[in-house]
Amino acid sequence: MSETILHGYWRSSAAYRVRIALGVKGIGYAQVTHDLRAGEQHDPAYLAIAPHGLVPALEHDGDILIESPAILEWIETKWPAPPLLPRSPGDAATVRAMAALIGCDIHPLNNLRVLTQLRSQFDASNAQVKAWIAHWIGAGFGALEQLIDRVGGTFAFGDAPTLADCYLVPQVYNAERYDVDLGDFPRIRATAEAARALPAFAAAHPEVQPDFK
C-alpha cells in the first residue's frame, strides 16, 4: 500500500484543512514538518517538491500535489466516502463557494508572509497587524454567517461535515489566536464547536500535532 506523506506545519491553517479531510476519510499518513517561522519551506530539498515554497504538499503513489484546494479536491476524488461534497451540483457549488470565501477572501490576507510584509515594509505595529487580521476575518465571516444561516444545519452545510467545515475550523482557530471577537457570528461558533467534537477534527488540531511547540 502506498504511503501518504503530508508536508506541513502544525500552525498552518492550510495544512490543518488537509489533516481534517484525511481524518474524515480515515486515511493514515506520515507527516513531514517544515517550520515556517524558521524559513524551512525555502529549503532547496522542499522546493524540489513544492516550488512555490508553501505548505501543505501531499505525496501519494508518485503524485506530488500542492495548494490545499487542489489537494482537497484530489482527496475527495481519490477517496469519495464519506463525501465532503454534496451530490447535487448546485449544493456542491455552494459548499465550494463557502470554502473559497475563507480560502480566497480571508486566508491569503492573513497569511504569515503578508503579515511579515506589513511589519517589515510598512512598519506596522502588532496592534495594527491584529486590526488588519480582525478586519478581514470580520468581513469574510459576516458573509459566511449569512450563508450558514441559509444552508447550515449542525455543520456549515446541512448535518454532515463538508469541505466548508474543513476550511472553517482552521479559520476559527486563527481568529481565536488573534483575539478576534466572534460575538457577532453565533452560527459560525456553533458550527465550529460541532465540528471540533468529531474525532477527525480533534485529531487534526494544531496543538496535538507532533511538531507542536
Q: pLDDT value at position 2?
A: 66
Asked if the model's pLDDT at residue 24 lies above 70, the reply is yes
| Closest by CA position to 158, among listed 166, 150, 169 | 150
Judge residue 138's burial from the number of C-beta atoms within 10 Å of its C-beta, 0-12 exposed, 13-18 middle, 19 or more buried. Answer: middle
Phi, psi of 47 (to 5 degrees): -65, -25
Judge whether 92 and 156 are in contact, CB under 8 Å.
Answer: no
Instruction: Count CB-CB contacts under 10 A for residue 173.
Output: 17
The residue assigned the cell 524559513 is 39
Architecture of domain 89-200: Up-down Bundle (1.20)
Q: Are 36 and 48 in contact (CB under 8 A)?
A: no
Q: Enter the pTM of the model.
A: 0.96
Query: What class has domain 4-82?
Result: alpha beta
Q: Which of 212, 207, 201, 208 is nearest to 20 (CA)?
A: 201
User: Is 157 a residue whose pLDDT tops 90?
Assistant: yes
Q: Comparing C-alpha atoms, which of 24, 159, 5, 34 is closest to residue 79?
A: 24
Per-residue pLDDT tens over the stretch 28-65: 999 999 999 999 999 999 999 999 999 999 999 999 99
Percent of the chain with pLDDT over 90: 98
Q: What is the 3-state secondary structure (H, E, C) of 6-39?
A: EEECCCCHHHHHHHHHHHHHCCCCEEEECCHHHC
pLDDT of residue 178: 92
Which residue spans of the chain are classified as CATH 1.20.1050.10?
89-200
- CATH 3.40.30.10 segments of the chain: 4-82
Residue 175 binned pLDDT confidence (cut-offs 50, 70, 90): very high
